Structure formats: C-alpha cells, structure tokens
C-alpha cells in the first residue's frame, strides 16, 4: 500500500480526538512545546490503568531474572530515582514514593502539570494505585499522607534531558518505551552518564517496532535506509537497533546487559534492504522489545 493510501485509511479508521492528538504531537517537533491533553489521557484505558506501572516493572524484572538469576529486585527505599519520559501520569513516580524513595524526578517534555489538580488523578488514578500498592506491599501510610508525599517527592521537568538545567545525581534510572524516541540519543546518554551516582541501577524497555498501526511491527522499516524512512513516515523514532542502544549506554559508562523481551520474526515477508542487512544480524533486526539493564 502506498503512503497516501495508508495515511487515508488510518485517518478514516482513527477517532477524531486521536487524529488531533497526533497532529499536535507532530506540530510539537516544529515549534512550541506540546503537552498531553488531559481529557484525552483520562479517557484512555492505557493511561488510566493504575496497575500499569507495577505490572510493567514486575514483568520486566521477572524476565530479566529468568535470564540473570543474580538480578536483585530494584529497591526504591531511600533512593533518588530518575525516569526518562515518564508520560502524563508520573510513570513509576507513585510506586517509587509508596516504596519510600527519597525523591523521584521525571523528565517529560510533554508533561501537563495540570494533572496534579485534575480530580480524576487524585480521586481515581492515585486512589486506585494506592489501594493496589497497599494490597501488594502492605499498609504503609494513609491515603492523604501518600498524596502529600507524591506532591512533595515527585518533580517532573517538562523538557528533554539535554535542555534540562538539572544536575542531580540519581541512584535508579528507568524508562519505558522512551529511548527509541530520544534524539540525540548518544549525547543524552553521555550527559546522564556524568550524573549517575556510583552504583546506579538502570532498567530501560525499548520498543524497536515502527510505532505505526501496521500489520507487522517492522513493516516498511527495513525496505529503505533510515533517513528515507524518517522522511516518509516522520521522525518520532530514532531507528537505532539494540546494538546501537547498548553501545551508546556502554560508551556513557553504563555497563549494560540486554535481555530480549520478545522478537517479531514471524509473518515478516518484505525483503530487507542492504543498508540494514550489512549492519545488523537477524537477532537485532527482529528484536521487538529489549530490556537494557545493569549497574553504573
């Protein structure tokens, strides 16, 4: 299907709110900062499911542990936590706070700080989160205290890492489906390498798919060089593969192990351009989600 037909089909099948959201995000690359639309966020099951942060972290650690039995579960108690691209709902912030972190910093260029005053945020999302956390980890504080601690211990910087005038060391560094969006990635990681505290632990889930609603997550991606792909389909992902991300992390001083989450080789029928074949093996080309982890 050519690009125009694909675009028209997507527009036809996408609810108007999502179309406007995508347009806003696209415009953001050109000029002013675009922030998350809270009405859109609070009507999206993905964002309002308050078990989501724990589910992801627990799943990632279970997978890592299966490959690396020496892996010790991340302990937030007393730690300074950094999350890159924490999303609209403070990402792993509430979990880190419930588990006693010293401070949580989110770096999120699209952050909308009005979330703190949104009635559904404290009255529904955080309350549900709190109930779930108390069931999982035991009662640690009442809800008002938890709310207060979230407000006191969480800071979200509404910018990218390289633009942030922030230089606090951190002991734990997390991200979920973010590093594939960061540009320039190598420089950003080098900067973070200078801020990480000795012994800093990190865990990043990186999604290497095309981030489009295509039949196969690698459709179109490998039929042309990355520069051509980005011209045609946009620059929202940097198109680095797992070897690149691992190398950039290592170069920044993060001794990194890569645990594959899952690959997506099946049903891929397109021919792969020499640009990709010459640089990456099959394992790298078809890794859909990878977990990068280690100690600084």
Ligand X SMILES: C[S@@+](CC[C@H](N)C(=O)[O-])C[C@H]1O[C@@H](n2cnc3c(N)ncnc32)[C@H](O)[C@@H]1O
- In the complex, minimum distance from the CB of residue 211 to ligand X, in angstroms, rounded to a whole number: 8
The three-state (H, E, C) secondary structure of 144-185, written as one string: HHHHHHHHHHEEEECCCCCCCCCCCCEEEEEEECCCCCCCCH
Residue 94 binding ligand X, by CB under 6 A: no
Q: Which of 195, 36, 221, 53 is nearest to 116 (CA)?
A: 36
Near ligand X by CB under 6 A: residue from 161, 241, 293, 296: 161
Near ligand X by CB under 6 A: residue from 87, 217, 226, 294: 87
Residue 109 binding ligand X, by CB under 6 A: yes
- Cβ proximity to ligand X, 55 vs 281, nearer residue: 55
Near ligand X by CB under 6 A: residue from 110, 134, 195, 272: 110
- In the complex, minimum distance from the CB of residue 245 to ligand X, in angstroms, rounded to a whole number: 14
- Cβ proximity to ligand X, 109 vs 226, nearer residue: 109
Near ligand X by CB under 6 A: residue from 108, 171, 219, 220: 108
For the chain, how are helix, strand and coil distributed in percent, rounded to 5? Answer: 45, 15, 40
Query: Do 210 and 237 form a contact (C-beta atoms < 8 A)?
Result: yes
Near ligand X by CB under 6 A: residue from 81, 172, 182, 203: 182
Q: Can you give the C-alpha Rg of the chain in angstroms?
A: 20
- Cβ proximity to ligand X, 116 vs 143, nearer residue: 116
- In the complex, minimum distance from the CB of residue 183 to ligand X, in angstroms, rounded to a whole number: 7
Give the range of 1-9, 74-82, 104-112, 285-293 binding ligand X by CB under 6 A: 104-112
The Cα-based distances of 232 to 7, 8, 192, 220, 224 in angstroms read: 11, 14, 31, 10, 10
Give the range of 58-66, 73-81, 102-110, 138-146 binding ligand X by CB under 6 A: 102-110
Q: Which residues does 83 contact at the CB level (< 8 Å), separation at least 6?
A: 91, 92, 93, 104, 105, 106, 107, 173, 174, 175
- Cβ proximity to ligand X, 85 vs 226, nearer residue: 85
- In the complex, minimum distance from the CB of residue 172 to ligand X, in angstroms, rounded to a whole number: 15
Query: Do 240 and 279 form a contact (C-beta atoms < 8 A)?
Result: no
Give the range of 58-66, 93-101, 105-113, 141-149 binding ligand X by CB under 6 A: 105-113
Distance CA 135, CA 123 (A): 18
User: 245 exposed, middle or buried (CB, 10 Å; 0-12, 13-18, 19+)?
Assistant: buried
Residue 91 binding ligand X, by CB under 6 A: yes
Contact residues for ligand X, defined by CB under 6 A? 84-87, 91, 107-110, 160-161, 176-178, 181-182
């Amino acid at each position: 299907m050519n690009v125009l037909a694909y675009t028209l089909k997507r527009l036809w099948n996408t609810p108007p709110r999502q179309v406007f959201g995508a347009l806003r995000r696209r415009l953001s690359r050109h000029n002013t900062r675009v922030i998350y639309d809270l009405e859109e966020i609070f009507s999206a099951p993905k964002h309002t499911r308050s078990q989501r942060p724990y589910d992801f972290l627990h799943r990632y650690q279970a997978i890592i542990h299966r490959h690396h039995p020496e892996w010790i579960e991340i302990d937030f108690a007393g730690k300074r936590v950094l999350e890159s691209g924490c999303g609209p709902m403070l990402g792993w912030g509430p979990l880190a706070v419930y588990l006693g972190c010293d401070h949580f910093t989110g770096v999120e260029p699209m952050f909308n700080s009005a979330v703190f005053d949104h009635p559904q945020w404290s009255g529904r999302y955080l309350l549900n989160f709190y109930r779930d956390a108390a069931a999982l980890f035991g009662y640690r504080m009442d809800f008002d205290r938890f709310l207060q601690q979230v407000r006191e211990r969480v800071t979200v910087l509404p910018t990218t890492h390289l633009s942030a005038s922030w230089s606090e060391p951190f002991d734990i560094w997390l991200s979920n489906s973010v590093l594939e969006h960061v540009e320039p990635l190598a420089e950003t990681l080098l900067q973070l390498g200078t801020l990480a505290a000795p012994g800093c632990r990190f865990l990043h889930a990186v999604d290497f798919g095309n981030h489009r609603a295509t039949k196969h997550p690698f459709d179109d991606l490998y039929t042309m060089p990355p520069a051509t792909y980005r011209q045609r389909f946009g620059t929202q992902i940097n198109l680095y593969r797992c070897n690149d991300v691992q190398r950039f992390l290592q170069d920044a001083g993060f001794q990194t192990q890569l645990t594959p989450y899952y690959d997506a080789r099946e049903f891929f029928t397109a021919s792969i351009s020499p640009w990709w074949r010459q640089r990456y093996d099959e394992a790298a080309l078809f890794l859909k989600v990878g977990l990068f982890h280690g100690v600084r």
